[in-house]
């Protein structure tokens, strides 16, 4: 199992990622670049939290394969909303 | 007493059930965040209400508080596993305290926004009213999870301290608490930072 030193290191790493996210938010990136970088950093944070804080790294692999691909698939399927969201803009009354 | 074997080998049933809840809840938060994205992309007059000071600074403090509460929860779980009961109870108490601080900071922020005229159906900046609806909806659901977690940790702490429940209950509750933290890792950048203005 992980040591306290590792936990503290991960905690500091997560705080550093939050700081990077905040700097990016105020660094005048284009909206799409900002969304992509914030999402990427949030996914990295979530991955670290799942592996170490929630101990998925130390659980039997069957637990990971039973749960995580299913939720990733469900979340990926939700991406079907974007074409309709963009269509909404053109449907506004003048 | 006969216990039903876990469906996932060495993973206790209690923990597996918590994981199933977490996956279902992740789908709920995922759907809500996608709904927020859908409304935002589909709105012509979206407004960004958060200035760096005080809104983003307050959200940063809340984020650090929640991340720290995950660390104290990890230490509590380790202590409970090692049989150091008083240490575990102390660190669980610290986790509860940090959860309460997070909730108080959140409610203070809400009170300030409501004071400025924000609500589920009002936008004092004159843009889309969906800004307030999505903000209060998403952060409200997360706050509900935080408050529920604080209550659950309190109940588990009392039961563990009295010897009624063992370390596995602390660990299972810890899983939930880390999930609440994990959700915030998406809420903070997507709801706060993407709605910040210079």
Q: Give the Å distances, CA to CA, from A38 to A78, B64, B174.
A: 19, 17, 26
Q: Tell whether B1 is covered by a domain.
A: no
Tokens of B137: 């909806």
Tokens of B74: 């990890």
- Chain B's closest residue to A85, CA to CA, is B42
ipTM above 0.85, yes or no: yes
pTM: predicted TM-score of the whole model, two decimal places: 0.94
Domain total for chain B?
A: 1
Of residues A16, A15, A77, A93, the one with CA closest to residue B69: A15
Q: Tell whether B50 is covered by a domain.
A: no
Q: Average of pLDDT values for B3-8? A: 61
Q: Is A16 in CB contact (< 8 Å) with chain B? A: no
Q: Is A5 in CB contact (< 8 Å) with chain B? A: no
Q: Tell whether B29 is covered by a domain.
A: no
pLDDT at A2: 82
Q: Are B52 and A39 a contacting pair at CB < 8 A?
A: no
Distance in angstroms (rounded) separating the CA atoms of residues B135 and A31: 19
Residue ranges of domains in chain A: 4-90
Confirm if A63 and A56 have CB atoms less than 8 A apart.
yes
Structural domain boundaries, residue B182: 60-197
- Chain A's closest residue to B65, CA to CA, is A15
pLDDT at A91: 82
pLDDT at B3: 57
Q: Tell whether B18 is covered by a domain.
A: no
CATH code of B167's domain: 1.20.120.80
Q: pLDDT tens, B66-101?
A: 999 999 999 999 999 999 999 999 999 999 999 999
Q: Are A66 and B8 a contacting pair at CB < 8 A?
A: yes
pLDDT at A20: 98
Q: Is A39 in CB contact (< 8 Å) with chain B? A: yes
Q: Is A29 in CB contact (< 8 Å) with chain B? A: no
Q: Tell whether B54 is covered by a domain.
A: no
Q: pLDDT tens, A39-74?
A: 999 999 999 999 999 999 999 999 999 999 999 999
Tokens of B92: 């669980």
Q: What's the per-residue H, E or C state across chain A?
A: CCCHHHHHHHHHHHHHHHHHHHHHHCCCCCHHHHHHHHHHHHHHHHHHHHHHHCCHHHCCHHHHHHHHHHHHHHHHHHHHHHHHHHHHHHCCCC
Answer yes or no: is pLDDT of B191 > 80. yes
Q: pLDDT tens, B10-65?
A: 788 999 999 999 999 999 999 999 999 999 999 989 999 999 999 999 999 999 99
Q: pLDDT tens, B108-141?
A: 999 999 999 999 999 999 999 999 999 999 999 9
Size of chain A, expressed as the number of residues it contains: 94
């Amino acid at each position: 199992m992980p040591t306290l030193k590792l936990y503290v290191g991960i905690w500091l790493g997560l705080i550093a990622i939050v700081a990077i996210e905040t700097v990016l938010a105020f660094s005048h990136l284009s909206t799409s670049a900002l969304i992509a970088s914030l999402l990427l950093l949030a996914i990295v944070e979530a991955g670290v939290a799942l592996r170490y804080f929630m101990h998925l790294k130390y659980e039997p692999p069957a637990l990971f394969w039973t749960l995580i691909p299913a939720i990733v698939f469900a979340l990926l399927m939700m991406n079907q909303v974007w074409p309709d969201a963009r269509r909404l803009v053109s449907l506004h009354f003048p | 007493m006969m216990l039903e074997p876990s469906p996932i080998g060495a993973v206790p049933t209690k923990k597996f059930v918590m994981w199933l809840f977490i996956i279902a809840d992740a789908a709920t938060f995922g759907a809500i965040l996608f709904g927020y994205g859908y409304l935002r992309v589909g709105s012509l007059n979206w407004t960004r209400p958060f200035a760096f000071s005080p809104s983003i600074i307050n959200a940063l403090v809340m984020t650090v508080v929640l991340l720290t509460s995950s660390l104290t929860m990890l230490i509590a779980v380790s202590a409970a596993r090692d049989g150091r009961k008083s240490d575990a109870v102390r660190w669980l108490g610290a986790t509860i305290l940090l959860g309460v601080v997070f909730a108080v900071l959140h409610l203070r922020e809400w009170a300030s926004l409501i004071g400025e005229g924000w609500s589920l159906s009002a936008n004092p900046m004159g843009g889309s009213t969906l800004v307030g609806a999505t903000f209060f909806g998403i952060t409200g659901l997360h706050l509900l999870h935080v408050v529920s977690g604080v209550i659950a940790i309190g109940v588990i702490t009392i039961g563990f301290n009295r010897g009624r429940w063992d370390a596995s209950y602390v660990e299972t509750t810890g899983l939930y608490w880390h999930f609440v933290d994990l959700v915030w890792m998406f809420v903070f950048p997507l709801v706060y930072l993407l709605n910040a203005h210079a």
